A = this chain, B = another copy of it.
Amino acid sequence: MSTLIHRHSDGVFIIAATPFAGDGALDLDSTDRMVDFYLDCGVTGMTILGIMGEAPKLSGEESQVFARRVLDRVAGRVPVIVGVSGAGLDNMARLSHSVMDMGAAGVMVAPMPGLLTETKLKGYFAQVCGALGPDVPICLQDYPQTTGVQFSVETILDIARANPQVVMLKHEDWPGLNKLSRVRAETGTGDMPRLSILVGNAALFLPQELQRGADGAMTGFAYPEMLVQVVERHKAGDVDGAEDLFDAYLPMVRYEQQLGIGLAIRKEILHRRGVLAAPKVRAPGPSLTKADHAELTRLMSRLDKKLGEMG
């Protein structure tokens, strides 16, 4: 079994897609291939059943089957986080305990919509932590673009201080660079324990976020090797080289970071790269037009050319 996620977890936790066959059924062969692909890219962790993993479109049984398949294939080589956000604490606790038993390294929790004051947010995370029990490490997902819920720095710190099992922050507020700077500066101090900070939001600001103290990325970009190399270069002190590599991919990063349709683009790229047998997104969901396909072809080809020039 892998170690649990902790306050110093770093690197790239890839947000895994959930592969479906053309008819919409779970595609477990592609799941195996995808896990291998991510590991080959050098990821240091994986996150499954997140918003991008189409979790709410799976049946309860499918979620179990998929989680088990991924965990079996990973076989403890890297930690795996499971998204468990949902409307009821009972369901969250049931899923959390089930995947922890299978070998998950922690769970990710985004707040329910409607938690619109600090008081409500703190109360909610106290309830969640109580329901999950102190042995389940939690990654708090701060993603207002999708949840409609806003965390201030103060709220994040209060929640982390009050609930020691909250050890990681998935930072994807936007704009959010100064928020990241403050969370970094105000954790790991005397009375406030450190938080691992992994950045999402399609990694649109990854170099800036690393320069401001992020520990790595947690996103699903379809070229995970870039994320891995950027983080590694940065950690090795090659800050400019990290940013140069990132900038080469930036046209594609920007293209994937289109809320909604981004998932279809991501699956299409993984399909073209031989990872997924089909680019299928379950209904209701976005699909690509002919113009999108042509545009993606152009962008992929421009990326290849640029990488060639960079040597």
Q: B-contacting residues of A (Cβ < 8 Å)?
A: 24, 54, 56-61, 86-91, 94, 112-113, 116-120, 124, 127, 131, 144, 150-155, 174-175, 177-178, 181, 204-205, 208, 211-212, 243, 247, 250-251, 254-255, 258-262, 282-284, 289, 291-292, 295, 302
Judge whether A88 and B54 touch: CB under 8 Å.
yes
| Contact A119 B154, CB 8 Å, known A89-B282, A254-B254, A295-B211 | yes
Judge whether B251 and A283 touch: CB under 8 Å.
no
Q: Nearest Cβ in chain B — how far from A51, in angstroms? A: 10
**How many angstroms between the C-alpha atoms of A178 and B293 in the bound complex?**
11
Judge whether A88 and B57 touch: CB under 8 Å.
yes
| Contact A292 B60, CB 8 Å, known A117-B150, A154-B119 | no
**How many angstroms between the C-alpha atoms of A131 and B295 in the bound complex?**
31
Nearest B residue to A290, CB-CB? B181
Nearest B residue to A149, CB-CB? B116
Nearest B residue to A94, CB-CB? B59
Residues of B within 8 A of A251 (CB): 247, 250
Copies in the complex: 4
Judge whether B87 and A127 touch: CB under 8 Å.
no
Name the residue in A54, A61, A205 with the highest tally of chain B Cβ atoms < 10 Å from its Cβ. Answer: A205
Judge whether B88 and A282 touch: CB under 8 Å.
yes
**How many angstroms between the C-alpha atoms of A68 and B251 in the bound complex?**
40
**How many angstroms between the C-alpha atoms of A58 and B291 in the bound complex?**
42
Query: Could you say which of B117, B119, B208, B291 contacts A295, with CB atoms under 8 Å apart?
Result: B208
**How many angstroms between the C-alpha atoms of A208 and B255 in the bound complex?**
10
| Contact A117 B151, CB 8 Å, known A88-B58, A211-B295, A251-B250 | yes
**What are the 4 closest A-B residue pairs judged by CB atoms, nearest first?**
A57-B88, A56-B87, A175-B258, A117-B152
Judge whether A175 and B261 touch: CB under 8 Å.
yes
Q: A56-B87, A116-B150, A175-B259 are in contact. List 20 more A-B contacts (CB 8 A).
A: A54-B88, A57-B90, A59-B60, A59-B90, A59-B94, A88-B283, A89-B282, A89-B283, A112-B284, A116-B116, A118-B118, A118-B152, A127-B283, A174-B259, A175-B261, A175-B262, A177-B291, A178-B289, A208-B255, A247-B250
